[in-house]
Amino acid sequence: MIKDGDLHFCCKGCQGVYHLLKAEGLDSFYDKLGDTKLQPATTQTEDLQKFDLEGFIKRYVKQRDDGLYEIHLIIEGIHCAACVWLNEKVLHKLPGIIEASINYSNNKAKIIWDPSELKLSKIIETIRSIGYNAYPYDPKLQEERAIKQRRDYYARILVAVFATMNIMWIAIAQYIGFFTGMRSDIKNILNIAEFALATPTLFYSGWVFYRGAYYGLKNRFINMDFLVAAGATLAYIYSIYAMLTHTGEVYFDSVTMIITFVLVGKYLEVLSKKQAVDTVDSLLGSLPAEVVVVKDGQKALVSIENVLVGDIIEIKPGEKVVIDGVIVSGEGSFDESSLTGESEPVYKRKGDEVLSGSILLDSVIRYRATKEFSTSLLSNIATLLEDAVTKKPYLEQLANQISGYFSVTILSIALLTFLGWLWYTQDFERALIVAVSVIVIACPCALGLATPMATLVGIGEALKRGILFKEASFLETTAKANTLVLDKTGTITKGKPSVVSEERFKEFDESIVYTLVEQSNHPISKGVWEYLKSKNEFTLLNVKDVKEIKAKGVEANIQGHSVVGGSLEFLREKNIKIAYSGDNSLFAVAIDGELVVLYELSDEIREQAAYAIGKIKELGFTVWILTGDNEKAAAKVAKKVGIDNYKAKLLPQEKSAFIEQLHKEGRVVIMAGDGINDAIALACSDIAIAMGSGADIALSVSDVVLLDEKPIKIYEAVVISKRVFRAVKENLALSLLYNVVAVPLAVLGYVNPLFAALAMSLSSLTVVGNSFRIKGVKWMLG
């Protein structure tokens, strides 16, 4: 605490804010903050240069594709929302700062800046200059801080429980003496003993409530901590008065039990929250800091931040893959359950991709790094999860607003209750105890926990099954959806069509076709490429003027020949005569205006696709297939998986237009695609689900990422969302029902402070316990 004249401030930030607001007013404060020095730096600056070192940047700073830098910092010294506000405003005044946002619950800041205009050391120096400190976020350090917090709670609980158990014996003696008669001197001695036990309980064990209440009041917010602290303090002050004046009864036993019950409840909440958000820290906290890199036949331990693309990494049985890559020697089984949710090991050999987060179960394998640590799948997942748990859904924002008004309302009710009982009974002691019961029994905490606890548990449970929600709010939207739109290729099918037949119309050089399809990344072109490659070894020819038209085909000039390849419609647009109809996907090639060959391809349906579609339809969904493929191919796939509604021959913009039409009909649409060819349609949908094992494009364009590509995961994502949304509504109903019943009972005098404290703690724990019932969704999913 800082004293400034007759005023006290919780921190230097609040002190600086107060004086600037008082002197200049809010509007001018925004204008002058960049030129005003709020507080001289109190931390030494000799270590600032380390923040600009290459090793430090590589380890803690993410270098984005747009050239900007991004880092997560823990801001030390933040005590209230004013501190958060001050830090964000000061940082935004720095030239080069693009984004600076701080999470009040864990003091974690996300900062994005332009390194050409600003150095990280300057950001740290600015934070220090207003009385705070900052250091990089590290999951292992966060775990140490969490352990320290739990130990602190444990010590306070021990004192509270010890005092409560002893004070109960004294209270029993006093109650017996009340009915059988007890000398006043003995009663006074027992009162003093209770006072001696209640005092450390209130001011040591209950310090967490005083601290929370103080910072709440500094921010003009009355919270649960204030209600607990006010109730216990009123009972404590009155008991001292009764003890010194020898009038009335003391309630020191109520003071200790209020603090003990609520503190134990708060401790259990801390444990539950830690368990709910452990998913992120456990992902990165368990990673090795170094890997074995093989170079010129020599092995060396290299920090994961210093591994470059192309380095050869060796892993042994039981070790976790830290960086994405491709196997260059050896073969073995990998446990990918932490990524996909599948318990069966995946056998991989030379040329196969290995994903960070998977565990090698047998053998010794060497693989070539295809990414750096900061851009690998596991790092991307952790970043997305961190963002997911900090972005609040609408219901949580609403509950928080209600909680703010709730506490003020309860205090008003308690005051009116005190005055009413005092007028009715003319008994100050009775009126005070009833008012204390009203204050203590009310629980805005349960209301505030209702949504975040359920969404945190839901996000963690989804991740265990290989489903990544990028924001908590997407759970709510998914639960309300009633229409599912599916891309065919890569979503219902495996997206790897293979040639099943070839029809030649004239002799031609296959090297020309091989060179043409090599220019395209479309799955059908890749299928033709694989087919030709399996037949012979071809040499790439001289190619120029390559044009790829989305959902149609590709054209180029190869060795002086005009070559066109793609759908039948595309070739007809080029005035090439074709007379053919079939059930499968087709890829036709024309050289110099003449059709030379037609390849017929078929794509394999994904495992359990028909079963997944059936389960989704049971949830009341209308399911559509949208595809750029021909009518017969679309109808064939739709029939196999049990979908009645489909549209074929659609261009990307036509897919998005159809989704907009569904919106006009009042539909809430989930679109599932491969995240590459369906970017426009995905962007138009209410929820975009990307299929694919962590493709970079899928992570960027989607709202939900399925790390396992099975269609059944779409069903699981919907079921988990509905279960979470139901739990949120249950939690809100439980917390509101509790307060609607409990507060009137306390007002009427039917509840004493002891039972009020116990009931208040149980209400919060009930909400927490109900949230963890979401884990039971696995029995529904199998």
Among 461, 526, 463, 523, smallest CA distance to 724 is for 461
Q: Same domain, yes or no, for 484 and 621? A: yes
Q: Residues with catalytic annotation? A: 487
Q: How far is 164 from 754, CA to CA, in rounded Å? A: 12
What was the pLDDT predicted at 24?
A: 46
Q: Same domain, yes or no, for 613 and 478? A: yes
Instruction: Express each pLDDT in 150-197 by its tens digit.
Output: 788 888 989 988 988 888 788 777 666 655 666 777 878 888 888 999
What was the pLDDT predicted at 27?
A: 45
CATH number for 510: 3.40.1110.10
Q: Same domain, yes or no, for 483 and 627? A: yes
CATH number for 45: 3.30.70.100
Other C-beta atoms closer than 10 Å to the C-beta of 480 total: 12
Q: Same domain, yes or no, for 490 and 506? A: no
134 in Cβ contact with 127 (< 8 Å): yes
Count how many domains the chain has. 4
- Regarding beta strands 325-329 and 353-354, do their DSSP bridges make them parallel or antiparallel, or are they unpaired? antiparallel
Is residue 94 a part of any domain in this protein? yes
Q: What single-letter DSSP state applies at residue 642?
A: T
Is residue 103 a part of any domain in this protein? yes
SS3 520: coil
CATH number for 614: 3.40.50.1000
Residues in the chain where the model's pLDDT stays below 50: 20-21, 24-43, 276-277, 392, 694-695
Q: Tell me the CA end-to-end span of the chain in Å, nearest whole number.
A: 55
Strand partners, 346: 334
Q: Same domain, yes or no, for 13 and 125? A: yes
Q: Which of 672, 689, 722 is the last residue of a domain?
A: 722
Instruction: Express each pLDDT in 302-335 by its tens digit.
Output: 888 788 889 999 998 888 888 889 999 998 888 8
- Please report, for residues 132, 147, 483, 718, the alpha-carbon distance to residue 669 in angstroms, rounded to integers and kept in the order given: 46, 43, 5, 12
Is residue 406 a part of any domain in this protein? no
Q: Which of 90, 109, 137 is the last residue of a domain?
A: 137
The set of residues, in sequence order, having a beta carbon less than 8 Å from that of 572 and lying 6+ positions away, is 578
The set of residues, in sequence order, having a beta carbon less than 8 Å from that of 505 and lying 6+ positions away, is 594, 595, 596, 597, 598
What was the pLDDT predicted at 46?
A: 57
Domain containing residue 508: 498-602
Q: Same domain, yes or no, for 17 and 118? A: yes
Tokens of 347: 């056998």
Q: Same domain, yes or no, for 68 and 118? A: yes
Is residue 55 a part of any domain in this protein? yes
CATH number for 364: 2.70.150.10
Q: Same domain, yes or no, for 18 and 127? A: yes
Residue with tokens 């990028």: 470
Is residue 390 a part of any domain in this protein? no
Q: How far is 51 from 126, CA to CA, in rounded Å? A: 13
Is residue 320 a part of any domain in this protein? yes
Among 640, 703, 642, smallest CA distance to 669 is for 703
pTM of the model: 0.60
Residue type, 402: I
Q: Same domain, yes or no, for 566 and 706? A: no
Is residue 653 a part of any domain in this protein? yes
Q: Same domain, yes or no, for 352 and 487? A: no
Instruction: Give the relative orientation of helices 377-390 and 444-464 as an angle to the nearest 10 degrees.
Output: 160
Share of the chain residues as helix, strand and coil, in percent rounded to the nearest 5: 55, 20, 25
At residue 117, φ and ψ (nearest 5 deg) are -110, -20
Q: Which of 602, 636, 654 is the last residue of a domain?
A: 602
Q: Same domain, yes or no, for 577 and 642? A: no
Q: What is the dihedral of CA 758, 763, 769, 774, to 10 degrees?
A: 180
Is residue 771 a part of any domain in this protein? no
724 in Cβ contact with 458 (< 8 Å): yes
Q: Same domain, yes or no, for 532 and 672? A: no
